[in-house]
Structure 1
């Protein structure tokens, strides 16, 4: 494989039409248009930026590709294009190109860290591959041929149909021992495409290898600190919201007294021993990457054990469909006949309430209570239904 410039397609907006592969003219158009786009970007060649590339991953993909193309296990050029397509071996074994794959729509799938062998079947052949990327990170693409090959391999990574939405950032390339490695910063999860062609017009007997390696960006962003609901000296659980899937830990000083995992919607409930009023708790959330949030401090308060005053209830007659009156602000007002609840509502910020009930007969005795947020229940207010 001859040394050559490498291409960044980040500014290419030209679309290559989906052409039929059944005629020579169509194949020539596809090959030439792709070659033209690739060659038009040769001036943007730059060396691979080692500051943003994992050196171990770079060395590994080079060695893997080089060894594979020099000693392709179980490979037969006679059977390659007919019976060995897309063979899946055990981990580390090579894959084989499946023809036809000369357009974006019918691109072969590449598996990360597995070399795929390809072979051009005519002088206008261009092979397309695709790789699925799970998120933001760095994508390395390596291509190589054996040392006796006349192939001048040309390849790149691009969005579908050479579009540019800014999802790929070209990091440069380097060539060593017959293997060329290109690096890309991936800014969005998705499927990316790798067209491969031979600038020399194809050496039918020669093969090439293509492989990819993806390393996801390390998550270094800590979760937001948890939101924690009020805790009193009767509570055996602490509730609130944190980053979905994060581990929420409750401490007194440096001593952990409980932890739990936040649900998919971020809600959490941590079991703790009952704490004295005035105790300061600190609560954190840790994500799957080990990033820990800032502390949320909360002081245990004395439980509210004082019930609301009993509600003041207006007159109710045998035509009324509501019971109205006044109770503790935001308390829950319940209307019963004996132990049978016939209606309830929440008092507003001024303490006013209006409870919908079925019409009751004259002489029916209603009992009305108010319950506050601490579940303290008032004494009962009795009211007898009168004739309208």
Structure 2
């Protein structure tokens, strides 16, 4: 493609047209806004870096556009009437046709991924707009070409009304076999737009006929890795690793490079991976891989020692037949429970200093209470017995 045509400047004088002056100005305004945006991007002269997108992905979309253009003579007989009044989709191999009017964001034709769209850029200052839905963050690929040199094709990808909300970043273009392929990094899912124009209308109006056709196509690649999974505490008794990761991703647990377990996260991102019991101090690493094969960063977790030591028996202050609380001292932050036999009367959490105060119903003289303390790991102390006395 001749890049000089893309960055050419409109001359001041307009060639005569059979269109009314009002119609020409309306079309020209839409055309010029599109042209300015396309020119600004072209002036960056940004070549697509190798490795951003797999060459196979780029080759596929270019091949589709080329093949459609090679057979465009059979489509050109449809003429403007065929393009403007119907969209033809005979089978999955056939391209689609633009449907007029589609000369602004609000009338944009819907594009399907990996499906070529054929169009004409007539009359003078015609702008064609297409829209595509991006399902998630990733790379949007747009490729275009023409059936003849009469059209100097210009196109870009844009947010609605050419606004820049920071959701679309131009990564670069490449040219091959007269096909231009542009790649954009999309930050946020949603609808994006592709305006298409003939950038040198003033130079060869008379050469751009109904037989002159352009082809445009889009593809999407999920190239965004999941965020690192979060992993809950793992101790030397655990046979499961649990946590949260990207919904439906595959979470893998390794020791070094050795995989010890993997599982698929649920639709809400929770996961539970079976592993062999690991020794204290072993470092596990966890990753999440999405359906496109993108792998997250690594989350590291060290196997901790499980607390298997029960708290000391709590001390219990005197309880009489008027008391409605049982007080004393236990392991800091442990849960203290007061029972009569196996019947629980009350429980509370000891404070950071171990003091506790458990509310109970008033008990008769001679009733024997038993009191235990349970730590955060679930270890339970031995029983402390106390007999209710006369007040």
Q: 1:266 to 1:215 in 2, by over 3 A?
A: closer
1-side partners of 2:53 and 2:119: how far apart? 26
> By how many angstroms is 1:65 displaced?
1.0
> By how many angstroms is 1:68 displaced?
0.4
Cα deviation digits, residues 304-358 of structure 1 (max 9, x gap): 2x5433222234456654332211223221122332223222222211112233x
Alignment of 1:224-303 (within 5 A): 226=231, 228-231=233-236, 235=237, 237-239=239-241, 241=243, 243-244=245-246, 245=249, 247-249=251-253, 251=255, 258-260=261-263, 269-272=272-275, 281-288=282-289, 289-290=294-295, 293=298, 296-298=301-303
Root-mean-square deviation over aligned CA pairs: 3.9
Q: 1:378 to 1:137 in 2, by over 3 A?
A: closer
Residue 108 (structure 1) aligned with residue 109 (structure 2)? yes
Q: 1:60 to 1:165 in 2, by over 3 A?
A: same
2-side partners of 1:258 and 1:79: how far apart? 58
1-side partners of 2:303 and 2:214: how far apart? 63
Identify the match of residue 309 of structure 1 among 292, 308, 312.
312
Alignment of 1:35-184 (within 5 A): 35=34, 37-38=36-37, 41=40, 44=43, 46=45, 48-51=47-50, 52=52, 54-72=54-72, 76-77=78-79, 78-84=81-87, 87=89, 89-90=91-92, 92-120=93-121, 122-135=123-136, 137-147=138-148, 150-173=150-173, 177=177, 179-184=178-183
> By how many angstroms is 1:379 displaced?
3.0
Cα deviation digits, residues 24-74 of structure 1 (max 9, x gap): 378436434425524753771526335355444333333321220231477
2-side partners of 1:126 and 1:47: how far apart? 24
2-side partners of 1:243 and 1:325: how far apart? 44
- Structure 2 partner of 1:210: 216
Gaps of 5+ in 2: 8-21
Identify the match of residue 346 of structure 2 among 318, 336, 343.
343
SS of equivalent residue, structure 1 residue 287: strand
1-side partners of 2:129 and 2:102: how far apart? 6
> By how many angstroms is 1:116 displaced?
0.8
> By how many angstroms is 1:100 displaced?
2.9
Gaps of 5+ in 1: 8-22
Q: Which has the higher helix share?
A: 2
- Structure 1 partner of 2:355: 352
TM norm structure 1: 0.74
Which stretch has the larger CA shift, 102-111 or 92-101? 92-101
1-side partners of 2:297 and 2:35: how far apart? 50
TM norm structure 2: 0.73
2-side partners of 1:97 and 1:339: how far apart? 80
- Check whether the contact 2:6–2:152 (CA below 8 A) recurs between aligned residues: no
1-side partners of 2:27 and 2:258: how far apart? 72
- Structure 2 partner of 1:11: none
Q: 1:321 to 1:135 in 2, by over 3 A?
A: same
> By how many angstroms is 1:132 displaced?
2.9
SS of equivalent residue, structure 2 residue 83: coil
SS of equivalent residue, structure 2 residue 303: strand
- Check whether the contact 2:315–2:384 (CA below 8 A) recurs between aligned residues: yes
> By how many angstroms is 1:146 displaced?
1.8
Which stretch has the larger CA shift, 199-208 or 342-351? 199-208
